[in-house]
Each structure stands twice: as C-alpha cells, then as structure tokens.
C-alpha cells in the first residue's frame, strides 16, 4: 500500500476558496434572500458544497491507495468512534453555552436565554432551516476533515494546525455576511462588532473541533455529530448576540482546558508525515 502521499494544502485551499466564493459572490449579486429566491439558495448551497467537492477531487485524483482508503474508513470505520469522547465533547459545549448565559446576566442579559427559540435566526425557518443545518455539518465536515485539516497537520503539530485552520475556516465564511437573511448577514447588520466576534470565536472553536476529530481517531462521523450539535444549539438556544460575545471568551477558556488536558495530542509530532500509515 502506498503511504508516501504528500498532502497539498495550498492547492486544496485555493481551489476550495475560489469555487466557494465564486458561488457566494454570485448569490450576493442576486440581491435577494436565499429563502425567497431559488437561484440565491442554489448558489449558496453550491458554495457550501465546494470544500467537499475539492476534498473528493484531491483524494480521487491523488493516485494514492492509502489516501482513498483513509477517506473510506473515516466514513464507515465506526470502530474509530469513541462514544464517551463524543458525549464529553457535547457536554463541554453545552457547558460553554450555560456558563456564557450565566455570566451574561452580569451585563444585564436575561436568564430567559435558557429557553428554545421559536424559529431560526435566518429566513426560511422550520424544515428548510433544519435541513440547512444538517447539510452544513455534513458537507463542511467532508471537506474540512476529509482532507483540509489533515493537509495542514501532515506538516506540523495539531496545536499549530488548529491555529492555522481556525483562521482559514473563519475567513472562508466572509461572503455569507453579504447574502441577505443568512445568520451572518443578520448579525453584521445588527452590529459590525458581532461580525468581528464571529471571526474571533471560530479560532478557539477550531481547537475543540480538532480535539473531537483526533480523539475519535479522525472520524468524520464523530465530527459531523459534534458540528451538528454546535450549529443546532447556536441556533435554538435563545442567546443574545451580546451573550455570544461572552461565549467567545468562555470558548477560549474551554479551548485552553482542552489543550492543557490533552498536551500530548496537541504537541506531539509523531504523526507528522505519517498520517496515512496504519
């Protein structure tokens, strides 16, 4: 089995960004809400698909048997998943939200935030919004964990990888702030500070996502479960945007604890150049 494949992170990210942003910028120029326009919705979903399409392109044009097998096992290798780790990660994020709401009361926010919202923060609620959340988790993870994250970690520690990937992942969302009625559009038009907070918050979240991924033996299934849970709670718990700024601080603390309790995982370099070896 060929295990000498070298990942190509620059090629992946250039292709993924160009394709994603091409569709999303086109959606911006329609000037219409994705919930009210089939064209805008199609363009937005097409952009969302591009990291996954790029990952599949990179894998299946690589001529590497090891890389193709690795992607397959990320999907069907349920033996990789550690249920207890998934439960711990889900409870960790739930604790982040609960702590953020409690701390926010010091700034005049209400405990009513512990309730569920009636809908979603973007237009086209109900079944359409739920489908969008499921698709976002599944499609993003195929791209990011299917190739993107490994392509960086192949050359450095998971600590450094988490910093690089968190920053790149945050910037990838940029066009969404200009597509009418997306979550990102709504918070940007409420206050540019909330947009800045979003970009900052993605970095510590990147550490937690990496922790879930690596602790579950680089399982896509585990990553999709966690990503869906994060997206769903962020949408359905009635947190104000002010509280989400508090949440960013709590995320940094949580990420610090995760790193401190998993030092070997984040700082070891044994995996460098060897991700595809059994």
Given this model, what pLDDT does residue 129 score?
A: 65
Q: What is the 3-state secondary structure (H, E, C) of the chain?
A: CCCCCCCCHHHHHHHHHHHHHHHHHHHHHHCCCCCCCHHHHHHHHHHHHHHHHHHHHHHHCCCCHHHHHHHHHHHHCHHHCCHHHHHHHHHHHHHHHHHHHHHHHHHCCCHHHHCECCCCCCCCCCHHHHHHHHHHHHHHHHHHHHHHHHHHHCCCCHHHHHHHHHHHHHHHCHHHHHCCCCHHHHHHHHCHHHHHHHHHHHHHHHHHHHHHHHHCCCCHHHHHHHHHHHHHHHHHECCCHHHHHHHHHHHHHHHHHHHHCCHHHHHCCCCCCCCCCC
d(CA 148, CA 80): 19
Single out the catalytic residue among 140, 141, 235, 247. 140
Residues 190-243 have pLDDT tens digits of 999 999 999 999 999 999 999 999 999 999 989 998 988 888 888 788 899 999
Given this model, what pLDDT does residue 104 score?
A: 97
Of 123, 133, 134, whose CA–CA distance to 37 is shortest? 123
Give the mean pLDDT of 8-28: 97
Least confident of 15-29, 136-150, 151-165, 196-210: 136-150
Residues 24-41 have pLDDT tens digits of 999 999 877 766 667 888
Residues 82-99 have pLDDT tens digits of 889 999 999 999 999 999
**Residue 11 pLDDT more than 70?**
yes
Give the mean pLDDT of 117-140: 68
Q: Catalytic annotation on 271?
A: no
What pTM value is reported for the model?
0.89
d(CA 102, CA 186): 24
Assigned token pair, 211: 């922790």
Single out the catalytic residue among 149, 173, 190, 247. 173
Residue 79 or residue 254, greater confidence: 254
Give the mean pLDDT of 121-129: 56
Q: Catalytic annotation on 140?
A: yes
Question: How would you class 220 by CB atoms within 10 Å of its CB: exposed for 0-12, middle for 13-18, buried for 19 or more?
Answer: buried
Query: Average pLDDT over the chain, rounded to whole?
Result: 90
Assigned token pair, 68: 């193709």
Residues 180-191 have pLDDT tens digits of 888 899 999 999
Given this model, what pLDDT does residue 75 score?
A: 84
Dihedral sign from CA coordinates of 196, 123, 206, 68: negative
d(CA 241, CA 257): 24
């Amino acid at each position: 089995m060929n295990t000498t494949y070298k990942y190509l992170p620059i090629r992946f990210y250039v292709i993924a960004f160009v394709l994603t942003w091409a569709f999303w910028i086109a959606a911006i120029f329609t000037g219409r809400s994705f919930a009210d326009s089939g064209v805008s919705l199609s363009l937005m979903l097409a952009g969302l698909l591009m990291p996954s399409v790029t990952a599949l392109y990179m894998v299946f044009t690589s001529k590497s048997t090891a890389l193709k097998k690795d992607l397959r096992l990320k999907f069907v290798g349920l033996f990789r998943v550690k249920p207890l780790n998934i439960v711990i990660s889900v409870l960790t994020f739930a604790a982040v939200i609960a702590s953020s709401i409690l701390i926010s009361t010091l700034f005049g926010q209400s405990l009513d935030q512990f309730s569920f919202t009636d809908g979603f923060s973007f237009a086209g609620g109900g079944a359409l919004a739920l489908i969008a959340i499921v698709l976002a988790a599944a499609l993003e993870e195929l791209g990011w964990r299917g190739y993107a994250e490994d392509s960086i970690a192949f050359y450095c520690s998971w600590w450094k990888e988490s910093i690089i990937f968190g920053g790149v992942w945050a910037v990838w969302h940029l066009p969404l702030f200009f597509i009418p009625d997306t979550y990102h559009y709504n918070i940007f038009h409420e206050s540019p500070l909330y947009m800045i907070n979003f970009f900052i918050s993605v970095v510590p979240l990147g550490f937690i996502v990496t922790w879930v991924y690596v602790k579950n033996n680089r399982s896509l299934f585990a990553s999709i479960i966690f990503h869906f849970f994060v997206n769903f709670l962020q949408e359905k718990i009635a947190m104000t945007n002010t509280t989400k700024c508090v949440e960013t601080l709590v995320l940094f603390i949580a990420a610090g604890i995760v790193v401190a309790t998993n030092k070997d995982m984040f700082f070891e370099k044994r995996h460098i150049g060897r991700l595809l070896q059994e």
